[in-house]
Amino acid sequence: MPADGPVLDVAGLNAAYGEAKVLFGIDLCVAPRQIVACIGRNGAGKTTLLRCICGFVKPLSGVVRSHGSDLIGLAPYDVAKSGVKYVPQDKKVFYDLTVRENLELGSYASGDRNWEPALNYFPKLKVHMDRKAGYMSGGERQMLMIARALLGNPRLLLIDEPTEGLAPGIVSHLREVFTDIARKTSLVIVEQNLPLVCAIADVVYAIRDGRVAAMFSQRSEMSFQTFEKFL
Amino acid sequence: MSLDPRLVMSSVIFGLSIGGIYFLLAIGLSLCFGLMRIISLDQLLYYSIGAFVTYSVGVATGQFWLGVAAGAAAGGLASLAVERLIFRRIYARDPTFSMITSFGLLFGGIGIIKFVWGVVPRPVEVPTLAQFDVLGTQIPVYRLIIVGIAVVVYALIWAFLHRTIVGKAIRAAIENVEHVEGLGINVGRLFTLTFVIAGALSGLAGGVYAPLILVDPMMGLEMLAFVFMVVIIGGLGSIKGTAISALIIGQVVSLGSLIYAPAAQMAPFVIMLAILLIRPTGLFGVALTRR
């Protein structure tokens, strides 16, 4: 796989659920080690955008490339194997499996048995390794989902609403973790927590009605007040 | 009314062995629904194929157990072909679509069996006529062998699902297919593997049960209602539930015949209705939504 080009290059992406068109010509670019945030109201198309990128929704037209390789048409498991992993919003770990088993599945496809880097982000998981994941709190489940996705050293993580419903302490921990992860892995985060977005994002895309309404890449442009009007 | 303890003992063993057959047949149906959300009534076709292949190989070689192994293999191969050619195309459809499709497959398959083996029921020789005495009752050893096979299969399936990474992926996919795919795992292969295991177990059930019945093309249909009840009572997707449910239905059929024969056919339905009234998802099932 060629290593040149952006980690993610989305151009003119159109998508629909049946007759209902959701995305209208979305363009988005992610550079190596960059944190890109997508903000917007519920129903704006942010989740659909992530699901198109990782192959769960087949777009009507457009381009999705990672390091120059076309991702459109690949099965979701092939997209994941290519190094683009998705952490959905629902915080649904595999409830009947232990934390260890959840992680084993995370490293199954890649064969990556070195869990230490991922577990070092979330030391709490180490003490719950043999606990059924269904018994964990929402924050712990989110940690497990991110740790699971990190196995295999993906080059891009797509994370949907990671802080939704989490306690402030966990949110601030995730903020540090995302900054650390971005030293190796690019991140696209769909997020409504604007203070978090202002703190960690390198680029912010405001999505409105399935279109990119604005793009911010300068620190000076990024403020709660600026972003608030897109929510 | 007093019951002869020897008859009760004999009925309990009979119930255990028929329960073992129900389990071997129902576990495949249950896993197929749990993982792929399909109602695979064609498992009863693989059951019949398993029995006929056991018969043919047994006649040709004189080796009953070789016949059973061939029957299980034939069930697995037939299910592989059906999964590749048909079910792969309809996984995304509503479960009722798969039920109708599999029902059609079952009848089509019965026609093929009639064409190949004819309509005359075939006897299969019991591999051992040995009996042993329990509390004054002569218990056929072969019935206990069937119970033993069901126990071993349960243990192997449990170990496969809990101790191997592929089994864990299947358990995870029963919960959420999309999340498993998102981890880079090809769920389509898990579907195929599960379907083949189910078909092979159905073939095995047909093979081991063949000596206790006459092998005939309609034998699968005769099991349909009971196997369906076992799956529903146990809870879709639960191997523990399927095992316990098979045990219950086996005993209800067997002891029911002893206590009041006319009720034996009806009693399992009553049990199913009673359990579903209390637990609509079955004993160990969880609410499964359509994907």
- Which strand ranges, in their side-by-side order, compose the sheet holding A8-17? A20-30, A8-17, A61-66, A69-70
What tokens appear for B202 in the block? 């159905």
**Which CATH number, 3.40.1110.10, 3.40.50.970, 3.10.440.10, 3.40.50.300, labels domain A8-228?**
3.40.50.300
Give the pLDDT of residue B1.
59
User: If you measure CA to CA, which chain A residue comes closest to B168?
Assistant: A101
Report percent pLDDT > 70 for chain A.
98
Which residues of B fall within a CB distance of 8 Å from A148?
183
Rounded distance, CA B92 to CA B79, Å?
19
| Residues in contact with A127: Cβ distance below 8 Å, sequence separation at least 6, in sequence order | none
pLDDT in tens, B116-132: 999 999 999 999 999 98
Give the pLDDT of residue B88.
92
| pLDDT classification of A2: cutoffs 50, 70, 90 | very low
Give the pLDDT of residue A3.
55
Indicate if the pLDDT at residue B148 is higher than 90. Answer: yes
Among candidate residues A187, A211, A183, A185, the one with its CA nearest the CA of residue A201: A187
Beta bridge partner(s), residue A64: A10
State the average pLDDT over residues B199-225: 96
Gap from B180 CA to chain A (nearest CA, Å)? 8
Top pLDDT among B27 and A3 is at B27
Which residues of A fall within a CB distance of 8 Å from B241?
none
Considering only residues 137 to 176 of chain B, which have any Cβ-Cβ distance to chain A shorter than 8 Å?
165, 168-169, 171-172, 175-176
What tokens appear for B125 in the block? 């020789």
Give the pLDDT of residue B288.
56
pLDDT in tens, B156-193: 999 999 999 999 999 999 889 999 999 999 999 999 99
Which residues of B fall within a CB distance of 8 Å from A56?
178, 181-182
Which residues of A fall within a CB distance of 8 Å from B176?
92, 94
Give the pLDDT of residue B5.
81
pLDDT in tens, A65-102: 999 899 999 999 999 999 999 999 988 999 999 999 99
| Residues in contact with A19: Cβ distance below 8 Å, sequence separation at least 6, in sequence order | none
Considering only residues 108 to 127 of chain A, which have any Cβ-Cβ distance to chain B shorter than 8 Å?
108-110
pLDDT in tens, A155-201: 999 999 999 999 999 999 999 999 999 999 999 999 999 999 999 99
| B186 close contact with A: CB closer than 8 A | yes
**DSSP 3-state assignment of A230?**
coil
pLDDT in tens, A11-43: 999 999 998 999 999 999 999 999 999 999 999
| B86 close contact with A: CB closer than 8 A | no
> What is the full DSSP assignment across A148-174?
HHHTT--SEEEEESTTTT--HHHHHHH
Rounded distance, CA B151 to CA B199, Å?
18
CB contact under 8 A, A75 and B165: no
How many beta-carbon pairs under 8 angstroms link A with B?
Answer: 69
Rounded distance, CA B278 to CA B36, Å?
26
CB contact under 8 A, A85 and B182: yes
Which residues of B fall within a CB distance of 8 Å from A101?
168, 172
Probe site for chain A from B180, B181, B240 (most A CB atoms < 10 A)? B181
Among candidate residues A165, A202, A198, A189, the one with its CA nearest the CA of residue A31: A202
Hey, what amino acid is at B38? I
Report percent pLDDT > 70 for chain B.
98
| B179 close contact with A: CB closer than 8 A | yes
| B131 close contact with A: CB closer than 8 A | no
What tokens appear for B13 in the block? 């063993």
Hey, what amino acid is at A97? L
